[in-house]
């Protein structure tokens, strides 16, 4: 029974990953932000790093949450000498 439950959970995880949008665009006053979900999955690997409550659409996601979650993570990665965008203009692109 434990094997069945484990396989079911794994199947759900794979299905959610497969159906997640690869690239999302978030409109912003100072330029839209294009977010490559697939690339972040490959780099971060732990869905709970961003999806703390549950996997899927992030409830309450907006400017404040994005700045806290995304910028803090990017700054931490930059300190580890990982090449990530950290300046506003690196993510916010005007049309």
Structural domains in the chain plus CATH codes: 22-93 (3.90.10.10)
Average pLDDT taken over every residue of the chain: 82
pLDDT at 18: 52
**Predicted model pTM:** 0.66
Q: Taking the CA of residue 56 as centre, how many other CA atoms within 13 Å lie in the half-sphere pointing to its CB?
A: 5
Q: How far apart are CA 21 and CA 80, in angstroms?
A: 28
pLDDT band at 85 (very low <50, low <70, confident <90, very high): very high
Summarised one tens digit per residue, pLDDT across range 27-56 is: 999 999 999 999 998 888 888 888 887 787
Q: How far apart are CA 76 and CA 89, in angstroms?
A: 18
């Amino acid at each position: 029974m434990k094997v069945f439950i484990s396989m079911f959970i794994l199947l759900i995880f794979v299905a959610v990953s497969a159906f997640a949008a690869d690239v999302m665009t978030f409109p912003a006053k100072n330029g839209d932000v294009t977010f490559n979900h697939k690339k972040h999955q490959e780099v971060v690997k732990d869905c709970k790093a961003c999806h703390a409550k549950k996997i899927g659409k992030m409830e309450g996601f907006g400017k404040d949450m994005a700045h806290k979650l995304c910028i803090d993570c990017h700054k931490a990665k930059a300190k580890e000498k990982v090449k990530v965008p950290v300046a506003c203009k690196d993510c916010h692109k005007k049309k």
